[in-house]
């Protein structure tokens, strides 16, 4: 592990594995639908051996996507320190953002229908600049709420003018 | 410089107040100037000509065209009248809770309240037509939102100035009837210098160079085809110079207890007021051909100016279109007190950065002292970004796959959207994390010492001069 993206303490707080499951399910659904259409078109319009080729390609794509999602999920991490929140993510393009609590303008907790089904929510911190992309997807709802309340309380306590 | 202040913000309104303020002049909401529908109706009129007029003009049906114009004019006036009737404003509350309330819209009503102590800048804009009628638009800039949040168009010039004085006094934490603060001119840009700087600047020079190339090619080939390109090209190049010259003509920067006053414009005039402590960062830009004369341009990040669209951001963010460095440096010290950019020790990017920026890597530098974070970049046009620690919003480390191979990473010091882009590009990855951590710590300390949001409400606390050892730079 390089020190550049090392956790401030012992380890990063991980996000819920259900985020990975959700993304893999979505991958399966889209690739399944697309692949089925591709196989049928290839099979009916051209020949069934081409359909077999498409099937292999889709399967390969699925495995690759499965692996990518796993890697990306592992890369997510956050840590709460006394004065700031750290969020890191990314495999190829890595990012680490340090947001002081006092700079926080508002916190969003969002959960779409699928995310609710999987029991996860996204927490997003906003500062006065759109460049600060401090979002943590895939938190269990209790954790998301706890984090939101804590961030709001700390933000108020350490609030600074713009 | 002292302000004749009546430090009595908590009411007990003296009934013998000599100066009528917007609030005390009656509890009713005030309307904009009655000439507003004529000025706004004009826009509907022009739009109507552009949209419907084309068809009838193409068929040379002048009667129809005339009827359409008449209908558009009446409709425009009626719409303008409606919108004027339903737009009202008032200042409500006192002290810290004072708000500017603006009601507008007749189909979709909107009632907006803006906390006055949150204002980031107040501009008085006077487009040519409004100037002829003695009117002005007052813009109250607050952080956030997609555009100017509270444009009051149009007020009479007297009302605009009075309202601005009152807004600034309240935002500063003074009594509402404090007269407009006196100001002292710091810098003014002569038209000759402005013109020279525009012509020597990159946008015009690239246009001119392209023109010469295309012109000589078409002369050599003896083709007439080039002319079709050349005429619009030349017009475009001149347009750049003209626009910049007209919009920044007569540029002056003055200082008053209310903050910086920026005035500019030949046809449309602007008077911007940026209160103390609202500048989030400064960019110093030096074009290639400005170097012999040491000319620089200063731009600032102010939270309210950021989110507007393209051209306008650039014009409202300009603190100084061009000036020799010693002049600009003196102004910079007014904007960011106790900051001396030249004395901040900077370190260069490591040699391995040359694989990603073969020439430019030599000019990538960053540094910090106890007040500001500074980055340099660019080998033709040099840009220096200066961000006070107290204004930093967040720090980010970013690393792409190529950078990882070379052991490099970028460190972004974020400010509200605007021209300032403080990125320490291609630092060694061992160093990058340390820069970010130190920056987070420095900004934490700086925030604790920051002055009050309402800049007159208490004597600005002078932060103790660097305790302990002087920063030796990095």
Interval B137-176: pLDDT, tens: 998 888 765 566 668 888 999 999 999 999 998 888 888 7
What integer is the mean pLDDT of A91-95?
93
**Residue in chain B nearest A106 by alpha carbon:** B144
Q: What pLDDT was estimated at residue B466? A: 38
What integer is the mean pLDDT of B218-239?
77
Q: What pLDDT was estimated at residue B27? A: 59
The answer to whether B141 and B302 have CB atoms below 8 angstroms apart is yes
The DSSP line for B287-335 is: -GGGGGGTEEEEEEEEGGGTTS-HHHHHHHHEEEEEEEHHHHHHHHHHH
- What is the least distance, in Å, from the CA of B439 to any CA of chain A? 10
Report chain B's mean pLDDT, rounded to a whole number: 82
B397:A93 CB<8 A: no
Residue B16 has pLDDT above 70, yes or no: no
Residue A25 has pLDDT above 90, yes or no: yes
Q: What pLDDT was estimated at residue B207? A: 83
Question: Alpha carbon of B31 to those of B153, B158, B204: distances in Å?
Answer: 10, 14, 44
**pLDDT confidence band for B457 (50 / 70 / 90):** low
B-contacting residues of A 60-89, CB under 8 Å?
83-84
Write the pLDDT tens digit of every residue in B83-94.
889 999 998 887
Q: What pLDDT was estimated at residue B243? A: 87
**pLDDT confidence band for B18 (50 / 70 / 90):** very low
- What is the least distance, in Å, from the CA of A159 to any CA of chain B? 9
Residue B254 has pLDDT above 70, yes or no: yes
- What is the least distance, in Å, from the CA of B460 to any CA of chain A? 14
B144:A105 CB<8 A: yes
A3:B430 CB<8 A: yes
Contact list in B for residue A6 (CB cut-off 8 A) is: 433
Q: Is A7 on the interface with B (CB under 8 A)?
A: no
- What is the least distance, in Å, from the CA of B9 to any CA of chain A? 21
Q: Is A28 on the interface with B (CB under 8 A)?
A: no
Lowest mean pLDDT among A88-97, A144-153, B301-310, B395-404: B301-310
What integer is the mean pLDDT of B397-421?
92
B278:A95 CB<8 A: no
Q: What pLDDT was estimated at residue B148? A: 61
B394:A2 CB<8 A: no
Q: Per-residue b/e over B429-446, b at no fewer than 16 CB within 10 Å? A: bebbbebbbebbebbbeb
What is chain A's length? 162
Residue B285 has pLDDT above 90, yes or no: yes
How far apart (Å, rounded) are the C-alpha atoms in residues B328 and B153? 33
Q: What pLDDT was estimated at residue B23? A: 45
- The helix/strand/coil state of B23 is coil
Q: Which two tokens stand for residue B113?
A: 């309240």
Angle CA(B443)–CA(B444)–CA(B449) in degrees, nearest 5? Answer: 90
B393:A2 CB<8 A: no
B415:A102 CB<8 A: no
Phi and psi torsions of B251, nearest 5°? -70, 120
How far apart (Å, rounded) are the C-alpha atoms in residues A87 and A75? 10
How far apart (Å, rounded) are the C-alpha atoms in residues B47 and B274? 34
Write the pLDDT tens digit of every residue in B30-72.
899 988 888 877 776 777 677 766 666 677 777 777 787 788 7
Q: Which of B118, B120, B390, B394 to substitute to test the interface with A, most A CBs within 10 Å?
A: B394
Beta-carbon pairs below 8 A across chains A and B: 104
Q: What pLDDT was estimated at residue B224? A: 64
Residue A131 has pLDDT above 70, yes or no: yes
What is chain B's length? 474
Q: Which of A155-159, B109-113, B259-263 has the highest mean pLDDT?
A: B259-263
Q: Is A135 on the interface with B (CB under 8 A)?
A: no
Specify the higher pLDDT residue, A133 or A76: A76
Residue B204 has pLDDT above 90, yes or no: no
Phi and psi torsions of B252, nearest 5°? -130, 145
**Which ipTM value was assigned to this complex?**
0.90
A127:B394 CB<8 A: yes
Q: Which of A1, A3, A4 to substitute to test the interface with B, most B CBs within 10 Å?
A: A4
What integer is the mean pLDDT of A74-78?
94
Which residue among A5, A100, A134 sits closest to B443, beta carbon to beta carbon? A100
CA B413 distance to own-chain centroid:
20
B-contacting residues of A 100-129, CB under 8 Å?
100, 102-103, 105, 127-129
Q: Please, which residues have CB within 8 angstroms of residue B79's CB and are 6 or more apart in sequence?
A: B41, B44
Residue A67 has pLDDT above 80, yes or no: yes
What integer is the mean pLDDT of A41-62?
91
Query: Is the torsion defined by CA of B208, B214, B216, B218 positive or negative?
Result: negative
What integer is the mean pLDDT of A131-138?
87
Q: Please, which residues have CB within 8 angstroms of residue B385's CB and are 6 or more apart in sequence?
A: B281, B282, B283, B284, B374, B375, B420, B421, B422, B423
What's chain A look like in SS3?
A: CCCCCCCCCCCCECCCHHHHHHHHHHHHHHHHHHHHHHHHHHHHHHCHHHHHHHHHHHHHHHHHHHHHHHHHHHHCEEEECCCEEEEEECCCCEEEEEEEHHHCCEEEEECCHHHHHHCCEEEEEECCCCCCCEEEEEECHHHHHHHHHHHHHHHHHCCCCC
Query: Is the torsion defined by CA of B379, B384, B385, B389 positive or negative?
Result: positive
Residue B6 has pLDDT above 90, yes or no: no
Q: Which two tokens stand for residue B155?
A: 């007020």
- Of B370, B379, B310, B322, the C-alpha closest to B345 is B370
- Of B97, B95, B93, B47, the C-alpha closest to B72 is B47
Provide residues of B within 8 Å CB-CB of chain A: 118, 120, 143-144, 277-278, 280, 303, 390-401, 404, 409, 412, 414-417, 429-430, 432-433, 436-437, 440, 443-444, 447, 450, 452-453
- What is the least distance, in Å, from the CA of B132 to any CA of chain A? 38
CA B377 distance to own-chain centroid:
22
Q: What pLDDT was estimated at residue A91? A: 92
Q: Is A160 on the interface with B (CB under 8 A)?
A: yes
Residue B202 has pLDDT above 70, yes or no: yes
Report chain A's mean pLDDT, rounded to a whole number: 90
How far apart (Å, rounded) are the C-alpha atoms in residues B259 and B275? 4
What integer is the mean pLDDT of B452-458?
67
Residue B215 has pLDDT above 90, yes or no: no
Q: What pLDDT was estimated at residue B24? A: 45
Q: Please, which residues have CB within 8 angstroms of residue B272's CB and are 6 or more apart in sequence?
A: B121, B122, B123, B260, B261, B262, B263, B316
Proportion of chain B above pLDDT 90, given as a percent? 41
Q: How many CB atoms lie within 10 A of CB B16?
A: 5
**pLDDT confidence band for B449 (50 / 70 / 90):** confident
- What is the least distance, in Å, from the CA of B17 to any CA of chain A? 32
B394:A97 CB<8 A: yes
**pLDDT confidence band for B119 (50 / 70 / 90):** confident
């Amino acid at each position: 592990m390089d020190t550049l993206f090392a956790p401030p303490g012992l380890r990063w707080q991980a996000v819920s594995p259900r985020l990975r499951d959700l993304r893999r399910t979505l991958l399966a659904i889209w690739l399944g639908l697309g692949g089925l259409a591709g196989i049928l078109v290839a099979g009916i319009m051209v020949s069934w051996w081409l359909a077999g080729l498409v099937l292999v390609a889709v399967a390969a794509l699925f495995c690759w996507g499965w692996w990518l999602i796993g890697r990306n999920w592992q890369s997510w991490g956050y840590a709460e320190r006394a004065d700031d929140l750290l969020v890191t993510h990314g495999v190829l393009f890595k990012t680490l953002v340090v947001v002081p609590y006092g700079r926080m303008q508002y916190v969003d907790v969002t959960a779409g229908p699928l995310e609710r089904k999987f029991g996860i929510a996204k927490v997003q911190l906003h500062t006065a600049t759109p460049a600060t992309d401090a979002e943590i997807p895939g938190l269990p709802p209790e954790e998301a709420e706890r984090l939101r309340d804590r961030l709001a309380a700390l933000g108020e306590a350490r609030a600074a003018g713009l | 410089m002292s302000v004749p202040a009546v430090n009595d913000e908590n009411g007990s309104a003296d009934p013998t107040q000599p100066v009528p303020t917007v609030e005390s002049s009656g509890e009713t909401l005030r309307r904009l100037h009655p000439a507003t529908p004529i000025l706004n109706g004009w826009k509907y009129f022009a739009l109507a000509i552009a949209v419907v007029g084309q068809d009838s003009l193409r068929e040379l049906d002048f009667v129809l065209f005339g009827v359409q114009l008449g209908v558009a004019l009446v409709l425009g006036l009626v719409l303008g009248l409606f919108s004027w009737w339903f737009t009202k404003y008032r200042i409500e509350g006192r002290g810290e809770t004072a708000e500017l309330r603006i009601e507008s819209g007749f189909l979709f009503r909107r009632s907006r309240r803006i906390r006055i102590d949150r204002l980031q800048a107040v501009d008085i804009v006077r487009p040519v037509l409004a100037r002829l009628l003695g009117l002005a638009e007052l813009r109250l800039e607050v952080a956030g939102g997609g555009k100017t949040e509270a444009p009051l168009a149009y007020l009479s010039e007297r009302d605009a100035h009075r309202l601005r004085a009152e807004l600034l006094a309240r935002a500063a934490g003074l009594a509402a009837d404090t007269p407009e603060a006196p100001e002292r001119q710091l810098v003014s840009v002569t038209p000759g210098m402005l013109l020279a700087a525009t012509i020597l600047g990159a946008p015009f020079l690239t246009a001119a160079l392209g023109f010469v190339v295309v012109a000589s090619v078409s002369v050599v080939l003896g083709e007439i085809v080039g002319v079709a390109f050349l005429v619009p090209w030349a017009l475009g190049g001149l347009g750049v110079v003209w626009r910049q010259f007209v919009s920044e003509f007569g540029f002056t920067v003055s200082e008053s207890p209310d903050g910086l006053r920026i005035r500019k414009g030949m046809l449309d005039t602007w008077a911007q007021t940026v209160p103390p402590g609202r500048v989030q960062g400064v960019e110093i830009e030096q074009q290639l051909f400005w170097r012999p004369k040491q000319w620089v341009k200063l731009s600032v990040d102010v939270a309210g100016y950021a989110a507007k669209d393209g051209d306008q951001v650039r014009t409202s963010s300009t603190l100084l279109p061009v000036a020799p460095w010693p002049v600009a440096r003196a102004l910079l010290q007014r904007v960011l007190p106790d900051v001396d950019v030249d004395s901040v020790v900077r370190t260069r990017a490591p040699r391995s950065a040359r694989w990603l920026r073969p020439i430019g890597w030599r000019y990538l530098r960053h540094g910090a002292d106890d007040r500001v974070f500074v980055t340099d970049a660019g080998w033709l046009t040099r840009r220096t970004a200066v961000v006070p620690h107290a204004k930093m919003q967040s720090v980010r480390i970013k690393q792409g796959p190529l950078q990882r191979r070379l052991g490099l990473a970028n460190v972004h010091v974020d400010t509200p959207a605007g021209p300032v882009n403080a990125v320490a590009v291609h630092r060694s990855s061992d160093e990058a994390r340390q820069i970010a951590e130190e920056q987070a710590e420095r900004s934490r300390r700086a925030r604790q010492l920051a002055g009050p949001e309402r800049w007159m409400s208490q004597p600005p606390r002078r932060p103790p001069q660097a305790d302990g050892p002087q920063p030796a730079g990095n």
